[in-house]
Structure 1
Amino acid sequence: MGCYHSSMGNLFSDYEDPRKLASQTAFSVSEVEALFELFKSISSSIIDDGLISKEEFLLALFKSKRKQNFLAKRIFALFDVKRKGLIDFGDFVRSLNVFHPKAPIEEKINFSFNLYDLRGTGFIERRGVKQMLIALLQESELKLDEETIETILDNTFLEADGDQDGKIDKSEWQAFVTKNPSLLKIMTLPYLRDITTTFPSFVFNTQVEEILP
């Protein structure tokens, strides 16, 4: 069985065990260790406290600290599992797991649903979809007039809102996404796809031996 180098054991002494995180995600142990390097870089970019603040998160993954960035706020809120305004290493890895190609499709669907469920009601509402659509357009530097946006919303709810009650529940969203799988590619968020090119250590630099079965 492989084991940690002593230096690695000391390095992770104040954080969750990479082997544990690897067992809970689609990441390998070496990928978790590489993510730790990324985490340390982000968490020390403003204040070196071993936690990622909202400002550090936006600066690293969105190249901006703009507090008015609606999409960025939503992403951070989903990563901030403990609702403390800070992201620790374990939550960072578990949250990033949804973007892994081998992550269960159910996790990707749930993440995309929660992204649009702005008020945490268990439903996707038209107002929330409109806010997210406008935010996505702004991030992509695309412009659509109000009439076009409303048409997109009309068509979306016509297809997705099965019982036509004006809101989309999780089962309706799952059916909608299943029929329109390209939505999950959109919800993968291109900002996070750049990790392997922006931070090559995510793939190539590893100091942890894999744990053999």
Structure 2
Amino acid sequence: MGNKIVTFSEQQLEDYQDCTFFTRKEILRVFKRFREVNPELVPQRMTENQANKIHVPFEYIEKLPELRENPFKKRICEVFSCDGKGNLTFNDFLDLMSIFSEQAPRDIKVFYAFKIYDFDGDHFIGSNDLEATLHHLTGSELTAEEMQQIIENVIDEADVDGDGKLSYMEFEHVITRAPEFLSTFHIRL
């Protein structure tokens, strides 16, 4: 019976359960997915220190099937990475997977969606953020005029206070009216 590898201590698992939307079993499944990304870099048994120190480069993370086809994969990883460059520690990866889980509440998902679309980090979604979003979604399929028209339409529709950009509250108001938001803002384990 003594051959079982203990990935985390009981205290680590309890701490992870307290700060995520996962059960112990799901946390271990998330770790398995993280380790599969780069088994040479990620040890089978993680100390608390390693869980926050070992960074798996974005080039490996982006190959996960859950992210591979997502046009926002780089931005998602940047938002969740403590280095801001998309390289993830296990703790970063666990946070990402927790927020994108089906158990995460809508308001937390909306908060992170706002962060993902706020490319310039100014706490508003302005024209430049909307342009970056459209580039991620369409590549170069839209003309400059089409892009400008879409940006103007979004701001006209959602900018309640007329300042030419979307605050978090304005963004939240729009997202809560989008029934497909919860079904698209998730990653299944």
**TM-score category (smaller protein):** 0.7 to 0.9
Match of 2:59 among 55, 59, 66: 55
Distance 1:120 1:171, change over 3 A: same
Match status 1:117 vs 2:118: yes
Distance 1:163 1:118, change over 3 A: same
Which residue matches 2:32? 37
Match of 1:156 among 151, 154, 157: 154
Tell me the CA shift for residue 81 of structure 1: 2.8
Task: Determine the C-alpha separation between the residues in 1 that align with 2:155 and 2:182.
Answer: 17
Tell me the CA shift for residue 20 of structure 1: 1.8
Native 8 Å contact 2:118 2:125 kept in 1? yes
* Gapped regions of structure 2 (runs ≥ 5): 43-53
Which contiguous aligned blocks of 4+ residues in structure 1 show a shift greater than 6 angstroms?
none
Tell me the CA shift for residue 159 of structure 1: 1.5
**RCO higher in 1 or 2 (8 Å CA, sep ≥ 6)?**
1
Native 8 Å contact 2:78 2:85 kept in 1? no
Match status 1:12 vs 2:8: yes
* Gapped regions of structure 1 (runs ≥ 5): 197-213
The share of aligned pairs that are identical, in percent, is 26
Which residue matches 1:23? 18
Letter in 1 for 2:41: D
SS in 2 for 1:7: coil
Task: Determine the C-alpha separation between the residues in 1 that align with 2:60 and 2:110.
Answer: 27
Moved more, 160-169 or 54-63: 54-63
Match of 1:165 among 160, 163, 166: 163
Tell me the CA shift for residue 135 of structure 1: 0.7
Letter in 1 for 2:35: K
Could you state the TM-score of these two structures normalised by the residue count of structure 1? 0.70
Distance 1:84 1:135, change over 3 A: closer
Which residue matches 2:172? 174
Task: Determine the C-alpha separation between the residues in 1 that align with 2:12 and 2:161.
Answer: 46
Match status 1:96 vs 2:97: yes
Tell me the CA shift for residue 27 of structure 1: 1.1
Could you state the TM-score of these two structures normalised by the residue count of structure 2? 0.78
SS in 2 for 1:167: coil
Tell me the CA shift for residue 83 of structure 1: 3.7
Q: Deviations over 1:14-60 (max 9, x none)?
A: xx82332122221111011111110101133xx52553211111122
Tell me the CA shift for residue 12 of structure 1: 2.5
Match status 1:132 vs 2:133: yes
CA RMSD of aligned residues (A): 2.9
Task: Determine the C-alpha separation between the residues in 1 that align with 2:155 and 2:183.
Answer: 20
Task: Determine the C-alpha separation between the residues in 2 that align with 1:169 and 1:6.
Answer: 54
Tell me the CA shift for residue 95 of structure 1: 1.6
Which residue matches 1:206? none
Native 8 Å contact 1:79 1:91 kept in 2? yes
Q: Deviations over 1:99-158 (max 9, x none)?
A: 1112111111111100111111111111111111221224xxx93444433332222111
